[in-house]
Structure 1
Amino acid sequence: MSMIGQYACVTPAELDRALGDPEWALELVGEWMEAEAEAETETEAAGSSQSAPARCMDVDKAWDALGFLLRRAAFPVDIVHGEAAVPDADDWGYGPPRYLTPEQVRAAAGALAEISGERLTEGVGPADLAAAEVYPAIVWERGESLDYVREHYEQLRPFFRTAADQGDGMLMWLG
């Protein structure tokens, strides 16, 4: 089983409800993920590339490398683990979910716009990630490039921009 970094955009009202009823939020996010996976399959089958902006996304196993690189860059918001825990939430995979407020999402989107994937990984190689025991260590020990991390980072940038533009907060967890 792999630890996958997961994200869900939530309106301020949905965030408020999630903070008081994390079981409701887990069910809601599960429905979104299922609907988006189904819509993606239908879009691919139809040969179309147009779809509504996603409410959910994941960064696969790149989450820990992203966290390492963002801490190194003194990023102003913890977009990997969130800034606060969802109170009284059960485990959503590998621990309870955390969240960002709409204001924190806006700050993150602004900071993401300033740092390209190339700049984020500049001067860092697989040996650095292996030495820091960044998950999944076996990938870095094999000397794999950071292209995988850059690709996921570049997907996060518009995801956060869209969330910020819509005034959304964000739930995040390791699933």
Structure 2
Amino acid sequence: MSIIGEYLRVTPAQLERAVRDPEWALDHADEVREAEDQPESPSTASRYYSTYKAWDLIRFLLARSGMPVDIIHGEEPFTEEDWGYGPPRYLHPEHVRLAAHTLRALSYDRLLEGVSPDDLLRAEVYPLGWDVTMLGWGRHWYDGLTHFFETAATAGDAMLVWLD
């Protein structure tokens, strides 16, 4: 069983509905996830994105950089219901804009500066088993996530975030 990071762009009105009706939010997330095949990189129309197993690597790298928004676990809770590996959380449009701005300023190469496979092993970064050839593995997921957040920020969207 894998743990994957998942993101759903929602309008501010949809966020309000999700907070009032978390069951609707889960149904909506499932519908969007099933309707969208995740391409190599998200398009501007994509409402769903997954960082696959790279979520913890991205978390580790962003924590080292002082990321001001928790884009891996979200900022605000809206239900106690478990969506896989704990309850989902959300990011207000302001958090999405701040995250997009920060992600845009941080290239993957810059995030990797000074990081060794041993650092990842010591920190028990999922999915474990790191070696020097795997450091670049997360680039695709990070670049896609950056694009996804930039698109959401431009649209004024909020974000639902969870691990499944």
Scaled by the length of structure 1, the TM-score of the pair is 0.87
- Segments of 5+ residues of structure 1 without an aligned counterpart are 41-48
Aligned CA distance change for structure 1 residues 118 and 52 (closer, same or farther; 3 Å) = closer
Provide the rounded CA distance (Å) in 2 between the counterparts of 1:144 and 1:174.
26
Partner of 1:9 in structure 2? Answer: 9
Flag the structure with larger Rg: 1
Taking only the aligned residue pairs, the percentage that are identical comes to 54
Q: Deviations over 1:43-89 (max 9, x none)?
A: xxxxxx9x662100100111111111101000111111111212x34
Partner of 2:112 in structure 1? Answer: 121
Q: Which amino acid aligns with 2:73?
A: H
CA RMSD of aligned residues (A): 1.9
Size of the aligned set, in residue pairs, is: 163
Partner of 2:150 in structure 1? Answer: 161
1:160: how far off? 0.2
* SS at structure 1 position matched to 2:54: helix
Scaled by the length of structure 2, the TM-score of the pair is 0.93
Q: Deviations over 1:2-41 (max 9, x none)?
A: 000000000000111111111100100111111112x96x
Q: Which amino acid aligns with 1:29?
A: A
Please list every run of at least 4 consecutive aligned residues from structure 1 whose deviation after the TM superposition is greater than 2 angstroms.
Answer: none
Structure 1 residues 1-175: aligned runs within 5 Å: 1-37=1-37, 53-86=45-78, 88-137=79-128, 139-140=129-130, 142-175=131-164
The answer (yes or no) to whether the contact 1:117–1:151 under 8 Å persists in 2 is no
1:120: how far off? 1.0
The answer (yes or no) to whether the contact 1:4–1:59 under 8 Å persists in 2 is yes
Provide the rounded CA distance (Å) in 2 between the counterparts of 1:24 and 1:84.
17
Provide the rounded CA distance (Å) in 2 between the counterparts of 1:111 and 1:72.
13
* SS at structure 1 position matched to 2:36: helix
Is the helix fraction higher in 1 or 2? 1
- Segments of 5+ residues of structure 2 without an aligned counterpart are none
